[in-house]
Amino acid sequence: MSRTSPFSFYEFFAGGGMARAGLGADWTCRLANDLDPIKVAAYRANWGAGDLIEANVWDLKPDDLPGTADLVWASSPCQDLSLAGHRAGLSGQRSSAFWGFWRLIEALDEQGRAPGVIVIENVVGLLTSRGGQDFTAICEALASRRYRFGALEINAAHFVPQSRPRLFLIAARSEGLATKEPGPWHGPSARVAAARLPDALKPYWRWWHLAEPDARNTALSDLLEPDDQVPWHSPEQTQAILALMAPLHRRRLKQAAAQARADGQRQVGALFRRTRQEQGRSQQRAEVRFDGLAGCLRTARGGSSRQTVVVIDPHLGEGAVRTRLMSPREGARLMGLGDEYILPKGAAAALTLVGDGVVVPVVAFLERHLLRQMVKACQSARQAAQA
């Protein structure tokens, strides 16, 4: 990537570099960081090693971050967003990964190198975890460094055929691009989180304005591999999976089969096996959907956690229902990655990489309709201050 690009960024918890892919060619990566060796290898394979540091974020020092970045992207691990580490201070490696990242932002600010814009991507549950205390703590940190901030709830289903709601907490040192009232990207959780912020933080809250996207024009079936290029379950394996369905999902399967017979077209669904509590006991259940979407990709830890493709083909007679595991390449497509993207060789490693990532077209949409304008405003303010 050219060093003459108009914008620059640091990418923390970078994984396979999906935020980088979404930001695009106008952005220069000054630093990428992750500690997972498999993800780091994938990052190197796709982007090179020149900007990458493989290390625990707590081991990084401010001098490891070159120059000044316009934007910082941080997709920190959701399981690490605990107040326990924060209350213990920011000096210990047992504190959460987020606070290890935040101490670097504080250090950059002390050196006059703070980014104009910060994006913190995480699960929507961050808004409500620990009764909202975790979210409030992060907002307190942002306000302490003079950032205005607001939360957007975006489901990737607007862009790709995968149901994947995510939170984007965006902080900026520029004004503008905000509305007085919440809009379509501000869901109930974001509105509640804003309302319960302490009075001292409310002046920093912004309802960031974001355009609505064009209608998605792809379905799960459009991203699947050809039938003859993927392994299918045996009829016995398929029946064992279908036997795990509760009545609701049996009805969905029956309705999809009836639709397939009626119009002579095959129906494609996505299925997860989940553990549910029923009558005080843990029960594994197969849950299927035929709405053109895959379920949210998850970290793969064996066949039971991998998503299953269900195909009902009216031309196959008694074998009309077929099942198989979703392939890593299909998972990558559901994250908006092109087929040129180099995946880890093992299925579990590849699906973990994509399941932990951020959807590329979502990043691209944010870049085009919000982040670019924010960064330009911060650049102009900085230039005016230096004049």
SS3 92: coil
Mind listing the domains of the chain with CATH numbers? Answer: 7-217+357-386 (3.40.50.150), 226-326 (no CATH)
Under a CB-based contact definition with an 8 Å cutoff, are residues 52 and 61 in contact? no
pLDDT value at residue 88: 34
CB atoms within 10 A of CB 241: 18
Which strand ranges, in their side-by-side order, compose the sheet holding 308-312? 281-289, 267-278, 308-312, 321-325
pLDDT value at residue 386: 81
3-state DSSP helix/strand/coil % of the chain, to nearest 5: 40, 20, 35
pLDDT value at residue 281: 86
CB atoms within 10 A of CB 358: 25
For the chain, 387 residues long, give each residue's pLDDT as a single digit of tens: 445 789 999 999 999 999 999 999 999 999 999 999 999 999 999 999 999 999 999 999 999 999 999 999 999 876 544 333 343 322 334 348 889 999 999 999 999 999 999 999 999 988 988 888 889 999 999 999 999 999 999 999 999 999 999 999 999 998 778 998 999 999 999 999 999 999 999 999 999 999 999 999 999 999 999 999 999 999 999 999 999 999 999 999 999 999 999 999 999 999 999 888 888 888 889 999 999 999 999 876 544 568 999 999 998 876 699 999 999 999 999 999 999 999 999 999 999 999 999 999 999 999 999 999 999 999 998 888 887
Strands 27-34 and 71-74: unpaired
Can you tell me the distance from the alpha carbon of 212 to that of 16, in angstroms, rounded to the nearest whole number? 27
Strands 71-74 and 148-155: unpaired
pLDDT value at residue 381: 87
Q: Is 221 exposed, middle or buried (0-12, 13-18, 19+ CB in 10 A)?
A: middle
Token pair of 246, please? 């509760």
Q: At what angle do helices 37-47 and 347-355 cross, to 10 degrees?
A: 80
Under a CB-based contact definition with an 8 Å cutoff, are residues 324 and 288 in contact? no
Residue type, 94: R
In degrees rounded to 5, what are phi and psi of residue 211? -65, 165
pLDDT value at residue 84: 32
pLDDT value at residue 300: 65
Global pTM reads 0.93
Maximal CA-CA distance, the chain: 77
pLDDT value at residue 78: 62
pLDDT value at residue 305: 67
pLDDT value at residue 385: 82
Q: Which of 123, 149, 156 is nearest to 364 (CA)?
A: 156
Under a CB-based contact definition with an 8 Å cutoff, are residues 331 and 220 in contact? no
Can you tell me the distance from the alpha carbon of 342 to that of 349, in angstroms, rounded to the nearest whole number? 12
pLDDT value at residue 382: 84
Under a CB-based contact definition with an 8 Å cutoff, are residues 46 and 34 in contact? no
Q: Around 160, how many Cα atoms within 13 Å sit in the side-chain half-sphere?
A: 29
SS3 17: coil
Strands 165-172 and 148-155: antiparallel
CA 172 to chain centroid, in Å, comes to 20
